[in-house]
Structure 1
Amino acid sequence: MSNEAVWDRPEPPSKPSPTPLSRDLIVNAAIRLADGGGLDEVSFRKVAAALNAGPMRLYGYVETKAELLDLMVDEVYGEITPPSPSADWRTGLRHVAHGVRDAAKRHEWFIDLLSNRPHQGPNALTHMETTLATVRFENIDDVLGAVGAVMAYVFGAVRGEITELRAERSTGMTEEQWQRASGPYMQRMLATGRFPTLARVMHESSDSDPAHRFEVGLDYVLDGIATRHNPA
């Protein structure tokens, strides 16, 4: 196995074949499988079958499943358009937040592969650079703090949305239907008087769609950053 990162390792020379291969073809086939059935559908055998190739041929292009997942993540990062260089920090970070959410809605598995350890593919690095560059605070630690706060919110909020979508598919019940089914139990619990704040949530909060809830939460985070860096 090579010690080179997959980004630095050249593809094997092309050979005449009825089923030509390339790293791009392999990655895009893996993405289609993951989009259709989740990450459990991604294996060298299934990717090779989708390309009408033998599994061993894939190892000349990608050596491990971990490398394949990194390549898939980087491909999705490439779909996220960067903020305008002239955007102010708030507009730029809002653009990035929605770009990540939109990408994860197209590729639900994407959120499962995001963590605190940054990805290092070329598209991921470009995404990181343009995101950091939109926050033109003097202190680089302040830049990191602002971007980190926004991305932590985005990852958590989007993961919650995706989890709900998966629950709807596995149970056959929408969030509203699930709430109605659990309504009698919740009413009995609230009637005990032990959960007054939850009772207010149940009876007073306004229903809103996921996009609206995402926007409201994002505003809370951006308002906090603005208060810290533009105190009254």
Structure 2
Amino acid sequence: MSNELVWDRPEPPSKPSPTPLSRELIVQAAIRLADEGGLDEVSLRKVAGALNAGPMRLYGYIETKDELLDLMVDEIYGEIALPEPGTEWRAALTRIAHGIRAAARRHPWFVDLLGGRPHQGPNSLKHIEASLATLDGKPEFPTIDHVLGAVGAVMAFVHGAVRGEIAEARAEQSSGMTEEQWQRASGPYIERVLATGKFPMLAKVVYDADHTNVGAMFDTGLSYVLDGIATRHTPGSTPGGSASAPSAPTTAPAGR
């Protein structure tokens, strides 16, 4: 096995074959499998089968499943449109947040590979660079630690919110019930529980909340995060403690 990362390792020379191969073809086949059945459907054997190739041929392009997952994640980051340089920071971070959410909705498995160390592929690095650049040089964010703290807070919200959406979609798929159907089925039990008076805040949620759609809830939550960042970095504010953040705002696969 090579000590080089997949990003540094060239592909083997192409050879005449009835079933041509390339990393791009392999990654696209793996993404199709994951889109259809989740990450459990992704293996070098199944990808090879989808390409009508022998599994051993893939090892000239990819040495491990982890490398394949890294390549898949980088491909999805390449789908996310980034803000133009000079875009106002709130608008820029909003665009990035919506881009991640849209990509995860197209490829639900993507959220399973967020969390941990930063990805190192070219598209992933471009995404990290653009995310940090939204705040770089702004007087409200005088140091790179302030930039990391703000961008890290936005990414933590986005990843958490998107995970919740995907988890709900998976629950709907596995149970065969929509959220509305599930709520109706559990309604009598919830009403009995709330009638005890022990859960007044939950009662307000059930009876008084607007219950907007997930898109509106995402926008509301994101605005709270951005408002908090803006307030903390308003000239004259007195933030508590020094800014700190993870080493980078976008993350790498964990728990494969």
TM-score class, shorter-chain normalisation, is over 0.9
Q: CA deviation at 1:216?
A: 0.3
RMSD: 0.9
Give per-residue Cα distances to partners, 1:65-104, cap 9 Å, x unaligned. 0000000000000011111112111111000000000000
1:174 matched to which residue of 2? 178
> How big is each residue's C-alpha offset from its partner over 1:121-168, in whole Å with a ceiling of 9 and x where there is no partner?
111000000110011322110100000000000000000000000011
Residues 184-223 of structure 1: pairs in structure 2 closer than 5 A: 184-223=188-227
Q: Runs of at least 4 residues of structure 1 off by over 6 A? A: none
- The one-letter code matched in structure 2 to 1:68 is L
Write the distance in 2 (CA, Å) between the matches of 1:9 and 1:124.
17
Offset at 1:116?
3.3
Distance 1:51 1:14 in 2: 16
1:188-213 alpha-carbon deviations (Å, 9 max, x no partner): 11111110111111100012111000
Structure 2 match to 1:85:
85
Aligned length: 232
2:142 maps to which residue?
A: 138
TM-score scaled to structure 1, two decimals? Answer: 0.98
Q: 2: distance between equivalents of 1:23 and 1:197?
A: 53
SS at match of 1:215: helix
Q: In structure 2, what is the equivalent of residue 95 of structure 1?
A: 95
Residue of structure 1 aligned with 2:163, choices 159, 162, 165: 159
The residue correspondences of 1:1-232 to structure 2 (distance < 5 A) are 1-136=1-136, 137-230=141-234
- Bigger RCO (CA 8 Å, 6+ sep): 2
Amino acid at match of 1:209: N
Higher helix share: 1
What is the alpha-carbon distance in structure 2 between the residues aligned to residue 219 and residue 174 of structure 1? 28
Q: Which amino acid aligns with 2:150?
A: A
Distance (whole Å) between structure 2 residues aligned to residue 94 and residue 169 of structure 1: 29
Name the CA distance, whole Å, in 1 between partners of 2:116 and 2:83: 22
| AA aligned opposite 2:113 | L
Matched to 2:197, the amino acid is: G
- The amino acid across from 2:3 in the alignment is N
Deviation at 1:19, TM superposition (A): 0.5
1:163-191 deviation line (CA, Å, top 9, x unaligned): 00001110111111111111111111111
Percent of pairs with identical residues? 72
Q: What amino acid maps onto 1:97 in structure 2? A: A
Segments of 5+ residues of structure 1 without an aligned counterpart are none
